[in-house]
Amino acid sequence: MTDMLKGKTGLIIGAGTRDNMAQVIARRLARDGARMIVAGRDAAELERFAQDIGGVPATCDITSQESLAALAATARNAAGELDIVVNATGWGLLKPFALTTDAELRRMTDLQFIGPFQYFQAMLPLMRRGSSLIQISSATATIMLDNHTAYMGTKAGIDHVVRCIANEYGQYGIRANSVSPGITATPMGAGAKLVPGVWETYESHYPLGRAGTADDIADAVAWLASDGCFMSGQNLQVNGGLTLRGNPTSAEVDAAVIAATGKPRPRPWEKLEG
């Protein structure tokens, strides 16, 4: 434990799933001395986790302005002002561009663009001078990944919003940055390990020889949240050099799965589309 964030209050949304990236980040920030408000949709899990790290639980749906207003009120009552605001929500929709439905596109936009936009709108009035706003983005906001167009486009869009916030709110001493993992060993990335050959193919594209962990991202967030960070309007590519080589293509992954199992990998959208 360090005291790098001692005396600071942080808020992170997306922490309603056990051991997900948001929880790992929140635990790290709490270990460094921050008092954490942890938000998400699962009230029971948030209560358990908050008790574990000595934080404050707050149920919130990032796609609801009413829910975000209630979260802002909770934060104001619990802390008055905020030093750290993190968005770690996301949905890893795996779907070809042509097959992405209107409902899926609207859900993705609500969750990964409109929701974060309005989350930051709701929390910025509570952020004091010297505070840090952090968006968990994705390497795929910069590089390609087959069959993730809606996910990638909304992540890229909110990255630019973060740059706009950095430009507009710098006069108030507020820093705004984003962090881009690659494939990560979290509940969201767990599906890549279910089919032999998939995880290994992705990992082979990392110059540092391994895929990332949630702890790697938490380390970056802790630094961005600290007073030692003189950075704003930037995107940190915390992904072991993945952007130097790029993700494997769908054809590369397919070939690896066939070599490992003798049969093609499942296509979830084929089941969805019948």
Catalytic site residue from 119, 151, 169, 202: 151
Q: Which residue spans within 201-248 are E strands per DSSP?
A: 235-237
What is the distance between the alpha carbons of residues 127 and 9, in angstroms, rounded to a whole number? 10
H/E run at residue 130: strand 127-136
Dihedral, CA of residue 97, residue 101, residue 103 and residue 106, to nearest 10: 20
Provide long-range contacts, Cβ within 8 A and 24+ apart, for 20-23.
20/88, 20/186, 20/187, 20/188, 20/214, 21/88, 21/136, 21/181, 21/184, 21/186, 21/188, 21/214, 21/217, 21/218, 22/86, 22/88, 22/89, 22/136, 23/49
Cα 64–Cα 141–Cα 160 angle in degrees, nearest 5: 65
Q: Say how far apart CA 237 and CA 207 lie, in whole Å.
A: 13
State yes or no: is 172 an active-site residue: no
Return the structure tokens found at 226.
């600290």
C-alpha dihedral, 72 to 78 to 81 to 86, nearest 10° = -60
Closest CA relative to residue 36, chosen from 14, 17, 18: 14
Q: Which residues are catalytic?
A: 151
